[in-house]
């Protein structure tokens, strides 16, 4: 199961819009996608309630795990998404 870590760039952390964007992206991916703080329990990244329940703040390090077809590609896409602030001007 491929996994990677990243610091969350969204100024709001994984709340509201950034969480919804992550969950929507994860839901499009076949297989399992899990997210959580490094060294702590992981939750289903396809569940908005589970992701919001983590209460991840901006700058916190999270671990993402993927499994299934194209797991490496899915992991790379999700890590790139988490490294970007969706509300940043540009």
> Hey, which residues are catalytic here?
15
Which helix (H) or strand (E) segment is 35 a member of?
strand 32-37
Helices of type H across 1-90: 16-27, 48-54, 71-82
């Amino acid at each position: 199961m491929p996994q990677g870590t990243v610091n969350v760039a969204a100024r709001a952390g994984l709340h509201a819009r950034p969480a919804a964007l992550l969950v929507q992206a994860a839901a499009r991916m076949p297989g399992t996608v899990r997210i959580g703080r490094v060294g702590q329990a992981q939750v289903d990244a396809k569940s908005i309630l589970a992701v919001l329940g983590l209460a991840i703040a901006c700058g916190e390090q999270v671990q993402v795990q993927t499994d299934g077809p194209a797991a490496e590609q899915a992991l790379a896409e999700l890590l790139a998404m988490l490294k970007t602030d969706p509300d940043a001007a540009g």
